[in-house]
Structure 1
Amino acid sequence: MQRYGAAFSLVPAVTVMVLVLGFPISEWVGMQYPVVHAEEQSNPTFQTVSSPQLNQMLQRKDFLLVNVHIPYEGEINGTDAFIAFDKIDQSLEKLPRDKNAKIVLYCRSGRMSEIAARRLSELGYNRVSHLSGGMIAWKSAGYALKDH
């Protein structure tokens, strides 16, 4: 047990060198990982809006509001289109041809709209947003939903 004591006492020092000083421990252990700079990452980008932000945006509406939730569970007043989140890339005819057009997506909880927003971003739409927390957050914030 004592022969391992010296090795374990080095763990805090090595951790400090790696975390604080940025020491490249991968060179010690022979592992190499590619360095990816932020500007080289292929992560699509989209914005997240809160319920109060969306409510304010709806006062001067200049965007397409799309409900992507399946199955239908209500909607926010001002909704322009209904497109299933998992069919968004097969329903581009319902979206503006201009990939600079503002599009706001929402669903019940925010998960489906996040998936759809990511997909639209991957397809080149660069002004896509989704409602954080979806209709659940919208209703919790005191805003009304429309039922059909």
Structure 2
Amino acid sequence: MKEFILIIADIVNGIHDLLNAMAKQTGLNLTDKDLHLWVFGIVGITFFLITHLIFTKLAKLSITAISFIYTFTVMFILVFAVEIQQKITGRGEMDFADAVISLWGFLLFFAAFLAIKGIIFLVKYILKRKGII
């Protein structure tokens, strides 16, 4: 897990250095805070527009899909926050495999939820076709 975080940090630092160098080469006198404002503004609005487009289409099909994506995103952040907290406090072991198995736990329980939801839907469908409900 530590190695994974260090790799991500190296990538982010490399992008940061590249953007900083590009700004200087073009003669822009941008501070680190200016770069953060522009980069996160552009990345954030781009991500929002893509997400909005996808969620608008998904809303026509299933609100469950939107709920799943939102919950999975929150779980992803929570899992990595717990792993980082374990590293900081020394309680538990910061391990990438722990993060993966945690997310698999959510996916397993979500699959069970879908199975139960499907069974209920099927039973209702059969009962309606037979005129019972």
TM-score (norm 1): 0.20
- Specify which structure has the higher proportion of strand: 1
- Specify which structure has the higher proportion of helix: 2
Greater relative CO (CA pairs within 8 A, separation 6+): 1
